[in-house]
Amino acid sequence: MARLVPVADPADPRLADYTRLRDVNLRKSLEAEHGLFIAEGEKVIRRALATGHPARSFLMADRWVEPLADALDAADAPVYVAADAVVEAVAGFPVHRGALASLRRLPLPDVASVVAEARRLLVLEDLVDHANVGAIFRCAAALGVDAVVLSRRCADPLYRRAVKVSMGAVFAVPYARMAHRRDGLDTLRKAGFTLLALTPDASAVPLTAAPSGERVALLLGSEGDGLTSHWLAEADAPVRIPMDAGALASGVDSLNVVAAAAIACYALVSGT
């Protein structure tokens, strides 16, 4: 049975895992130190548990206990039950979807093992926005990209907002993080991947004419500036999404990174 524990004081130390969920700097150090992450909402919590992430605890208003009862019963962790105002005081914002879970991070596999069975990869260089990372995982999962490889500084897919925007896809797509660009990309090359660099550059090859192969990795750059020159130089070919000539003339010269990633995943998977 679920261990329900009523809590009335936002300063209760047992709720420390849920402190100020929108404070990115605080969360980074707190989550790293304790090896935890936060899942929000019934659907996402269920996916996190189903993919083997052990719960440390749960925090929710009592109306969320019943819909989650079977999952709470199965988890060996306390369920802190508190009024909405208490949850808001701890989390620092009104938690609309109600239920929160603090879960244990699992050790990340290394790049070589994540890509061992993959044919279609995304490689993300230094994306800073958690919502974008989450949305890209959602695209990758839905369209059938086999794995994602992150640069050293790319935003954390298990940050609450990334998890939420991904609708839990961060648990469905295996991923690894490179320690160094050169070693990481070398690992991909040695595994036989063709590295394609997505760029708005008009001289790049259109996606529809991109070199294909048994194993293809698509490199995607950050929100503002796209891939850096170091990354572009390491790729086997630059590729682009064909843009409308009229749009270019009127100054609409790019897609946002999620739209670009969605199209690239679609082309990557359906083109082969």
- Which residues bind to its own copies, rule: CB under 8 A? 43, 47, 135, 138-139, 141-144, 165, 167-169, 172, 208, 241-247, 250-256, 258-263, 266-267, 269-270
First vs last C-alpha separation in the chain: 49
Is 48 or 235 the residue whose CB approaches its own copies more closely? 48
Q: How far is the CB of 71 from its own copies (least distance, A)?
A: 14
Is 107 or 251 the residue whose CB approaches its own copies more closely? 251
In this structure, what token pair is assigned to residue 65? 């206990």
Count CA atoms closer than 13 A to 179's CA, side-chain side.
Answer: 6
Q: How far is the CB of 203 from its own copies (least distance, A)?
A: 18
Q: How far is the CB of 67 from its own copies (least distance, A)?
A: 16
Q: How far is the CB of 49 from its own copies (least distance, A)?
A: 13
Is 180 or 256 the residue whose CB approaches its own copies more closely? 256
In this structure, what token pair is assigned to residue 49? 């548990």
CA–CA separation, 35 and 28 (whole Å) = 10
Is 8 or 50 the residue whose CB approaches its own copies more closely? 50
Is 142 or 205 the residue whose CB approaches its own copies more closely? 142
Q: How far is the CB of 197 from its own copies (least distance, A)?
A: 18
- Assign 3-state DSSP to the chain and report helix, strand, coil percentages, each to 5: 40, 20, 40
Q: How far is the CB of 204 from its own copies (least distance, A)?
A: 15
Is 179 or 254 the residue whose CB approaches its own copies more closely? 254
Is 64 or 137 the residue whose CB approaches its own copies more closely? 137
Q: How far is the CB of 103 from its own copies (least distance, A)?
A: 17
Cβ(34)–Cβ(71) below 8 Å = no
Task: Give the rounded distance of the alpha carbon of 146 from its chain centre.
Answer: 14
Crossing angle of helices 130-143 and 257-270, rounded to 10°: 20
Cβ(10)–Cβ(83) below 8 Å = no
Q: How many CB atoms are closer than 10 A to CB 229?
A: 7
* Cα four-point dihedral sign 105, 111, 112, 115: positive
CA–CA separation, 4 and 80 (whole Å) = 6
In this structure, what token pair is assigned to residue 149? 């490889």
Q: How far is CA 6 from CA 3, 17, 20, in A?
A: 10, 16, 20
